[in-house]
């Protein structure tokens, strides 16, 4: 094994202990969600036979496909076991396997999902999809917050209820609140709980918008909880959104109602260049922004510090929006020109600041391209280690097509690819486009930005896309992985010819076992193309699939249940490289590279040198074939 800078290359590890094999054994034998769920439940019950209360967590924690949440009260305990996203084939940890209640010195289990019914829940299997166990009390009761995805128009938010159940009676329900649009819930003591939800602010008449957070303080009264007091919590984000909406509709009067005094004048509004995107404010945590503590209603002994009411700033296109708290509302206090941060351009790449580096690509001259996602840029590192920005200004937004790439705006660029002619392609994910930068530095939209669903579009720029990965083949064709956006999930791979024609090459079907690529249903995460015209697709279900030039799809690699694939690259000789951020490793056949904390992107050059981005730590690693690993971009911390 070669070890360098905390990274090693080794053969795959031996089999994990028996309890850790629950997930891989069940997944290999049970293909449908119902079968998988029931088999997991049976494995869990068998593993806990005779287990003590303290042993249960240790036994189940070795099963990597399971989430374990739990609370204790007195001598009792509740554990809620759910399938993780990769195991459940969903984007969120939604599917419950077992609710386990410990009392009378033994574990009692209740299923949260039935293969014979379509709804989910405790007991009646119709009440909720995802329970969060919030509190267990000494008298054998448990306060449970249950949430579910609703078909109602709640802008994708979860609806949910508070419930009080008996630990010592298989979680028998004692009380349930009405349905609410819950953002969060927490317990402050055995008798007091706090919920936050979205509700229309009565003082604001903007149809269909949810403009305020609504907090309720609940107090236990016997076998139920009662709401004692509630209030609207002003949100700086909502004030900013209403301000932007008024500007974009040309209503200066309405915009000024969300401004502070004369700080923002009517004269500057018509010429203000603000994008419709509202990223998180700078220098402010989500908790501060939401003011999640209902300070006034909490008993004095539990209050802690009073919430701060500071200044919030958003970078919006070429401008910067500032807000401050005025009494019971947030108001816009200024619009200033956006000043991008110094990210180290022109200097050594190892001294530069990367913020969430993701996709990588290497050109024929050895230049490395990095999708610097949170810095809203594409960076280039030359073979001698100098870094520069080749696309983007650092401001989030859309603009610049037809001009110079360094003056264009990007919004969360996630992936890059470069063809043999030197054309750079950028998955401009937040803008729903793939941008193309030609060798002279001019930028244009190569795909996306249209209004038509993929199936109806014939030209790439007619289509509405959600690009999360890109690849190019030897003929100059572009492959785009279009994933899930706000309105729908495409979950397909589309091909864009050099002439701009669009076609579907994989996904979009309804079958799971077909060998025809366009007939299968996919949950793709990454795409790559080899020199022979084959397309490789990494799926959420830990498998790598290959699509031949003739359109036949097959499985070529299965990743064990301890990980999942997030990015792909093709090396010399057609060797396939796979990043696995969950297990902090890169796979190449039966060997692996370990020690990279969060491998989010990968590229391999013609000599076999591997480049891997570490999104969490802001690095890009360079690992020569058989050599020593080193940081090639980003400030090294190890």
Per the CB < 8 A criterion, the answer to whether 619 and 630 are in contact is no
Q: Is residue 405 part of a domain?
A: yes
| Residue scoring higher pLDDT (100 or 449) | 449
* Mean pLDDT of the region 246-257: 77
- Asked whether residue 168 carries a pLDDT value surpassing 50, the answer given is yes
Strands (E), 438-563: 443-448, 467-472, 478-484, 489-496, 502-507, 524-529, 535-539, 543-547, 553-558
* Long-range contacts of the stretch 338-347 (C-beta < 8 A, 24+): 338/394, 338/395, 340/393, 340/394, 340/395, 341/375, 341/394, 343/372, 343/375, 343/377, 343/379, 343/389, 343/394, 344/387, 345/379, 345/387, 345/388, 345/389, 346/386, 346/387, 346/388, 347/386, 347/387
Specify whether 570 is located in the same domain as 462: yes
- Asked whether residue 48 carries a pLDDT value surpassing 60, the answer given is yes
- Asked whether residue 69 carries a pLDDT value surpassing 50, the answer given is yes
Q: Is residue 439 part of a domain?
A: yes
Lowest average pLDDT, out of 85-89, 382-386, 611-615, goes to 85-89
pLDDT confidence band for 19 (50 / 70 / 90) = low
Q: Which domain holds residue 257?
A: 236-265
Considering its fold, how many domains does the chain have in total?
Answer: 4
Q: Is residue 115 part of a domain?
A: no
* Mean pLDDT of the region 98-114: 64
Integer Cα distance of 384 and 633 in angstroms: 12
Phi, psi of 85 (to 5 degrees): -55, -45
pLDDT confidence band for 7 (50 / 70 / 90) = very low
- Asked whether residue 587 carries a pLDDT value surpassing 90, the answer given is no
Lowest average pLDDT, out of 154-163, 211-220, 270-279, 420-429, goes to 270-279
Name the residue among 180, 294, 311, 134 with its Cα closest to residue 236.
311
Specify whether 442 is located in the same domain as 586: yes
pLDDT digits (tens, 9 = 90+) for 304-344: 444 445 566 666 656 677 777 776 677 888 776 666 778 99
* Mean pLDDT of the region 35-44: 73
Q: Is residue 488 part of a domain?
A: yes
| Residue scoring higher pLDDT (634 or 37) | 634
276 is written with which tokens?
């419709």
Give the pLDDT score at 518: 94
Strands (E), 202-250: 212-220, 225-233
* Mean pLDDT of the region 383-405: 92
* Mean pLDDT of the region 451-463: 93
Name the residue among 146, 90, 152, 142 with its Cα closest to residue 120.
146
- Asked whether residue 88 carries a pLDDT value surpassing 70, the answer given is no
CA 53 from centre of chain = 34
Give the pLDDT score at 298: 55
Give the pLDDT score at 417: 98
452: left (phi over 0), alpha (psi -120 to 50) or beta: beta
| Residue scoring higher pLDDT (270 or 526) | 526
Name the residue among 50, 30, 51, 52 with its Cα closest to residue 41.
30
- Asked whether residue 539 carries a pLDDT value surpassing 70, the answer given is yes
Residues of the chain with pLDDT > 70, as a percent, come to: 63
Specify whether 574 is located in the same domain as 559: yes
Give the pLDDT score at 198: 65
| Residue scoring higher pLDDT (92 or 225) | 225
Residues of the chain with pLDDT > 90, as a percent, come to: 33
Q: Is residue 139 part of a domain?
A: yes
Give the pLDDT score at 438: 97
pLDDT confidence band for 386 (50 / 70 / 90) = very high
pLDDT confidence band for 115 (50 / 70 / 90) = very low
Torsion of CA 4, 5, 10, 16, to 10 degrees: 150
| Residue scoring higher pLDDT (137 or 623) | 623
Name the residue among 489, 573, 558 with its Cα closest to residue 524.
489
Domain-ending residue, one of 29, 64, 85: 85
Specify whether 40 is located in the same domain as 139: no
Specify whether 60 is located in the same domain as 137: no
- Asked whether residue 426 carries a pLDDT value surpassing 70, the answer given is yes
| Residue scoring higher pLDDT (509 or 125) | 509
- Asked whether residue 578 carries a pLDDT value surpassing 60, the answer given is yes
What's the mean per-residue pLDDT of the chain? Answer: 75
- Taking the CA of residue 166 as centre, how many other CA atoms within 13 Å lie in the half-sphere pointing to its CB? 9
Specify whether 169 is located in the same domain as 250: no
Q: Is residue 113 part of a domain?
A: no
Specify whether 72 is located in the same domain as 190: no
Lowest average pLDDT, out of 180-184, 234-238, 294-298, 362-366, goes to 294-298
Per the CB < 8 A criterion, the answer to whether 130 and 148 are in contact is yes
H or E element that contains 22: helix 22-29
- Asked whether residue 127 carries a pLDDT value surpassing 60, the answer given is no
pLDDT confidence band for 130 (50 / 70 / 90) = low
- Asked whether residue 638 carries a pLDDT value surpassing 50, the answer given is no
- Taking the CA of residue 344 as centre, how many other CA atoms within 13 Å lie in the half-sphere pointing to its CB? 20
| Residue scoring higher pLDDT (123 or 296) | 296
Specify whether 580 is located in the same domain as 537: yes
Name the residue among 327, 235, 242, 247 with its Cα closest to residue 281.
235
| Residue scoring higher pLDDT (386 or 190) | 386
Helices (H) and strands (E) in the chain, counts: 7, 41
Specify whether 218 is located in the same domain as 260: no
CA-CA distances (angstroms) from residue 598 to 253, 368, 457, 612?
Answer: 48, 19, 36, 9
Give the pLDDT score at 443: 97
- Taking the CA of residue 470 as centre, how many other CA atoms within 13 Å lie in the half-sphere pointing to its CB? 35
Specify whether 362 is located in the same domain as 220: no
Phi, psi of 633 (to 5 degrees): -155, 145
Q: What is the CATH classification number for the domain harbouring 479?
A: 2.120.10.30
Q: How many CB atoms lie within 10 A of CB 558?
A: 13
**Tokens 């909490």 correspond to what residue?**
298
Most confident stretch, 40-44, 77-81, 140-144, 518-522:
518-522
Q: Is residue 6 part of a domain?
A: no
402 is written with which tokens?
């037809």
Lowest average pLDDT, out of 180-189, 350-359, 478-487, 516-525, goes to 180-189
Q: Coil, strand or helix: which one is 362?
A: strand
What are the beta bridge partners of residue 553?
A: 547
Specify whether 243 is located in the same domain as 364: no
**Tokens 């997930």 correspond to what residue?**
23
Integer Cα distance of 563 and 586 in angstroms: 11
Specify whether 529 is located in the same domain as 516: yes
Give the pLDDT score at 170: 64
**Helices 33-47/22-29 angle, 10° precision:** 150
Q: Is residue 285 part of a domain?
A: no
């Amino acid at each position: 094994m070669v070890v360098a800078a905390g990274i090693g290359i080794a053969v795959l590890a031996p089999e994990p202990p028996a309890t850790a094999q629950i997930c891989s054994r069940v997944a290999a034998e049970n293909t449908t969600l119902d079968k998988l769920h029931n088999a997991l439940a049976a494995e869990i019950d068998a593993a806990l036979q005779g287990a003590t209360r303290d042993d249960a967590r240790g036994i189940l924690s070795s099963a990597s496909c399971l989430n374990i949440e739990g609370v204790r009260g007195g001598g009792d305990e509740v554990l809620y076991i759910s399938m993780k996203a990769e195991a459940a084939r969903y984007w969120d940890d939604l599917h419950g396997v077992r609710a386990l209640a410990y009392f009378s010195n033994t574990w009692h289990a209740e299923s949260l999902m039935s293969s014979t019914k379509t709804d989910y829940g405790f007991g009646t299997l119709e009440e909720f999809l995802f329970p969060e166990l919030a509190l267990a009390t000494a008298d054998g009761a448990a306060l449970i917050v249950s949430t579910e995805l609703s078909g109602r128009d709640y802008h994708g938010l979860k609806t949910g209820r508070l419930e009080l159940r008996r630990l010592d009676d298989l979680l028998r329900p004692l009380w349930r609140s009405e349905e609410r649009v819950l953002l969060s819930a927490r317990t402050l003591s055995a008798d007091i709980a706090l919920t936050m939800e979205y509700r229309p602010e009565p003082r604001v008449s903007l149809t269909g918008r949810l403009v305020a957070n609504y907090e309720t303080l609940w107090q236990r009264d016997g076998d139920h909880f009662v709401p004692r007091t509630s209030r609207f919590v002003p949100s700086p984000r909502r004030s900013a959104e209403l301000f932007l909406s008024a500007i974009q509709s040309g209503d200066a009067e309405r915009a000024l109602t969300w401004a502070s005094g004369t700080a923002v004048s009517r004269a500057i509004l018509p010429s203000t260049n603000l994008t419709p995107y509202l990223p998180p404010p700078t220098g402010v945590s989500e908790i501060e922004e939401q003011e999640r503590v209902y300070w006034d209603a909490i008993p004095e002994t539990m209050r802690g510090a009073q919430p701060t009411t500071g200044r919030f700033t958003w970078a919006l296109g070429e401008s910067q929006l500032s807000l401050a708290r005025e009494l019971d509302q947030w108001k816009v206090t200024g619009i200033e020109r956006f000043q991008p941060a110094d990210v180290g351009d022109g200097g050594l790449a190892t001294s530069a600041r990367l913020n969430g580096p993701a996709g990588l690509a290497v050109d024929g001259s050895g230049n490395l391209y990095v999708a610097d996602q949170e810095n809203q840029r594409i960076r280039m590192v030359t073979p001698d280690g100098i870094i520069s920005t080749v696309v983007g200004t650092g401001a989030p937004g859309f603009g610049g097509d037809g001009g110079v790439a360094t003056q264009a705006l990007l919004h969360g660029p996630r992936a890059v690819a470069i063809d043999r002619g030197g054309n750079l392609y950028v998955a401009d994910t937040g803008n729903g486009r793939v941008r193309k930068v030609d060798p002279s530095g001019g930028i244009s939209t190569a795909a996306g930005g249209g209004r038509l669903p993929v199936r109806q579009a014939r030209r790439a720029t007619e289509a509405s896309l959600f690009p999360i990965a890109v690849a190019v083949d030897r003929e100059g064709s572009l492959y785009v992985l279009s994933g899930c956006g706000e309105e729908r999930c495409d979950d397909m791979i589309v091909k864009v010819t050099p002439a701009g024609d669009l076609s579907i090459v994989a996904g979009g079907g309804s079958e799971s076992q077909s060998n025809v690529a366009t007939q299968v249903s996919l949950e793709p995460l990454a795409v790559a193309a080899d020199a022979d015209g084959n397309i490789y697709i990494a799926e959420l279900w830990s498998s790598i699939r290959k699509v031949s030039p003739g359109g036949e799809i097959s499985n070529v690699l299965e990743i064990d249940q301890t990980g999942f694939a997030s990015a792909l690259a093709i090396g010399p000789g057609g060797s396939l490289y796979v990043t696995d951020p969950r297990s902090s490793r890169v796979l190449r056949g039966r060997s692996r590279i370990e020690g990279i904390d969060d491998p989010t992107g990968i590229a391999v050059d013609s000599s076999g040198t591997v480049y891997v981005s570490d999104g969490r730590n802001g690095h890009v690693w360079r690992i020569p074939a058989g050599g020593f690993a080193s940081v090639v971009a980003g400030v090294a911390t190890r």
